[in-house]
């Protein structure tokens, strides 16, 4: 799992040649902490086909504002530098797998 920030977001996410799942989170967010292990598992399952990373909304407020993140956890999946899908709130692994399968 990568750590995305305001500084590396453009290079790591927008210019990526594979789809990228960005987990917008904060340390105080209980649902964020619950979904984190699921995202970690998915990152291993889709290794080489998709990039996975976390973006702390408190530390990277510019990117969070740019994409209108108002509720966390929010997962955005980027493809070709654009948001391809958005998932808000705690979701079961199966639903996340379905969304990912549509994009890879």
What is the residue extent of each domain of the chain?
A: 2-101
32 catalytic residue (yes or no): yes
pLDDT digits (tens, 9 = 90+) for 24-40: 999 999 999 999 999 99
Of 1, 2, 26, 29, catalytic: 29
Task: Compute the average pLDDT of residues 61-68.
Answer: 97
**Helix (H) or strand (E) run with residue 82 in it:** strand 82-88
Per annotation, catalytic residue among 32, 35, 42, 76: 32
pLDDT of residue 26: 97
pTM of the model: 0.95
- Please tell me the CATH code under which domain 2-101 is placed: 3.40.30.10
pLDDT of residue 96: 95
pLDDT at site 86: 96
Q: Is 29 a catalytic residue?
A: yes
CB-CB contact of 57 with 67 (8 Å):
no
């Amino acid at each position: 799992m990568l750590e995305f920030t305001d500084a590396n977001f453009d290079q790591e996410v927008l210019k990526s040649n594979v789809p990228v799942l960005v987990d917008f989170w904060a340390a105080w967010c209980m649902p964020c902490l619950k979904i984190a292990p699921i995202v970690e598992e998915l990152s291993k399952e889709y290794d080489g086909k998709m990039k996975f990373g976390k973006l702390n909304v408190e530390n990277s407020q510019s990117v969070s504002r740019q994409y209108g993140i108002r509720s966390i956890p929010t997962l955005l999946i980027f493809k070709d530098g654009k948001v391809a899908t958005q998932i808000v709130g705690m979701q079961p692994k199966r639903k996340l797998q379905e969304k990912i399968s549509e994009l890879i």
